[in-house]
Amino acid sequence: MHPSHEKALIIIKPDAVQRNLIGEIVSRVERKGLKVIGMKMMSVEDALLEEHYAHIKDKPFFPGVRDFMKLCPVVVVAVAGINAVSALRLLVGPTKAWEANAGTIRGDFSLSTQSNIVHASDTIENGEIEVTRFFEESEIFSYSKIDTDFIYAEHKQ
Question: How far apart, in whole angstroms, are the C-alpha atoms of residue 121 and residue 132?
Answer: 12
- Give 141's contacts (C-beta < 8 A, 6+ positions apart): 37, 38
- Is there a catalytic annotation at residue 119? yes
Catalytic residue among 5, 52, 55, 119: 119
Orientation angle between helical segments 84-92 and 124-134, nearest 10 degrees: 80
Nearest-5° angle of CA 51, CA 28, CA 19? 70
DSSP category for residue 96: S
DSSP category for residue 2: -
Q: Which residues are catalytic?
A: 119
